[in-house]
């Protein structure tokens, strides 16, 4: 990546896109065309009207990319909104991430919340926050810890899928989270507090708090007495 000069925005204003080294926004900044840089740090409010390609993004304030974004490392402690596709090699979300189309990468760590209108595809996906995925969540390893609220996806697919409830330590947070999904398909599946129409897997464990329509399994199925399965089929 060819690196240009640094861009620092402390007040408010609109700046051209192009190639930069480091971009730092502490005020209210708008970049009006495609931008390529080594890093972006946002402490205030920023808006990119086109596409962004960078090695590192850190959002402590509010950021919006109208087009697509591509980066190696993303940390969101504030709010990040992407209108198009987001290709994030490694992401850690402590705040909020919204993606208008697909979200993809290698490693995902969600402690805040994400909302995606398309598919989500990673090698490893870990969540102890919340998510709303309108398409397919697909990863080799999926670990979901349900702390609060309702998480949902249209479909979940992977090799290893583990969904566990996590009790809150807070006195007012007595209710644990839930997961709602139409189809779950994987090799090794463990579920708690999950509502699903169909679960397909080799080895399937339906833990407590689940309501499942149909389970199709090839090797082994076990069920907690506090869960319901309407139909069980060994293939």
Question: Which of 37-51, 64-78, 171-185 is the least confident region?
Answer: 171-185
Mean pLDDT for the stretch of residues 151-162: 97
pLDDT at 33 over 70: yes
- How remote is the C-alpha of 208 from its chain's centroid? 25
What is the pLDDT, as a whole number, of residue 107?
98
pLDDT at 2 over 50: no
Burial class (CB in 10 A: 0-12, 13-18, 19+), 147: buried
What is the pLDDT, as a whole number, of residue 64?
96
Nearest to 108 by CA among 174, 150, 158: 158
Mean pLDDT for the stretch of residues 190-194: 97
Nearest to 70 by CA among 45, 83, 92, 51: 51
- How remote is the C-alpha of 16 from its chain's centroid? 30
Contact 46, 63 (CB under 8 A): yes
What is the pLDDT, as a whole number, of residue 1?
42
pLDDT at 150 over 50: yes
Which pTM was predicted?
0.93
């Amino acid at each position: 990546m060819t690196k240009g000069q640094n861009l620092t925005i402390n007040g408010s204003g609109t700046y051209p896109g192009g190639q930069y080294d480091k971009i730092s926004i502490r005020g209210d900044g708008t970049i009006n065309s495609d931008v390529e840089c080594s890093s972006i740090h946002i402490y205030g409010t920023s808006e990119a009207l086109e596409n962004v390609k960078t090695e590192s993004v850190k959002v402590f304030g509010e950021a919006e990319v109208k087009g697509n974004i591509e980066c190696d490392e993303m940390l969101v402690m504030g709010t990040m909104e992407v209108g198009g596709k987001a290709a994030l090699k490694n992401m850690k979300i402590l705040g909020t991430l919204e993606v208008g189309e697909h979200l993809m990468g290698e490693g995902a760590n969600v402690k805040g919340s994400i909302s995606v209108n398309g598919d989500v595809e990673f090698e490893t996906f870990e969540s102890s926050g919340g998510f709303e995925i309108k398409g397919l969540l697909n990863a080799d390893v999926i670990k979901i810890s349900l702390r609060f609220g309702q998480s949902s996806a249209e479909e979940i697919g992977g090799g290893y899928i583990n969904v566990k409830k996590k009790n809150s330590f807070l006195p007012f947070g007595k209710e644990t989270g839930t997961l709602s999904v139409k189809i779950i398909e994987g090799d090794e599946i463990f579920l708690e507090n999950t509502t699903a129409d169909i679960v397909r897997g080799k080895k399937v464990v339906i833990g407590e708090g689940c309501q499942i329509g149909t389970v199709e399994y090839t090797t082994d199925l076990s069920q907690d007495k506090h869960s319901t399965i309407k139909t069980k089929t060994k293939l």
